[in-house]
């Protein structure tokens, strides 16, 4: 091996095509990245929903029928 040897040299081997294992690795990395983004979006949506629910419950509501107590 020389100092200038890189793994990129092995990607295109003798036929000039990218080996199947390299394509599979790239696909797995991209799919896992997509799932990570999707998972983060779900967490953000759930967190925002809980925050909105807490804000609604913090404001006292006026009684619907006279004579009821205020909801504190």
pLDDT digits (tens, 9 = 90+) for 1-51: 456 656 665 555 556 678 899 999 999 999 999 999 999 999 999 999 998
On whether residue 37 sits in a domain, the answer given is yes
Cβ within 8 Å of residue 18, ≥6 positions away: 11, 12
On whether residue 50 sits in a domain, the answer given is yes
On whether residue 70 sits in a domain, the answer given is no
How many whole angstroms separate alpha carbon 59 and alpha carbon 52?
A: 12
Of residues 56 and 14, the one with the higher pLDDT is 56
Give Cα 49 distance to the centre of its chain.
Answer: 17
On whether residue 23 sits in a domain, the answer given is yes
Task: Report the number of distinct structural domains present in the chain.
Answer: 1
What is the span of the domain harbouring residue 35?
18-58
CA distances in angstroms from 32 to 21, 40, 43, 45, listed in the order given: 16, 12, 16, 20
On whether residue 36 sits in a domain, the answer given is yes
Extract the tokens encoding 20. Answer: 């199947």
pTM of the model: 0.52
């Amino acid at each position: 091996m020389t100092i200038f040897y890189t793994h990129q040299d092995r990607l295109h081997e003798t036929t000039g095509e990218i080996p199947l294992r390299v394509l599979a690795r790239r696909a797995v990395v991209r799919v896992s990245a997509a799932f990570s983004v999707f998972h983060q979006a779900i967490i953000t949506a759930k967190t925002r929903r809980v925050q909105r629910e807490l804000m609604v419950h913090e404001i006292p509501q006026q009684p619907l029928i006279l004579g009821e107590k205020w909801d504190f």
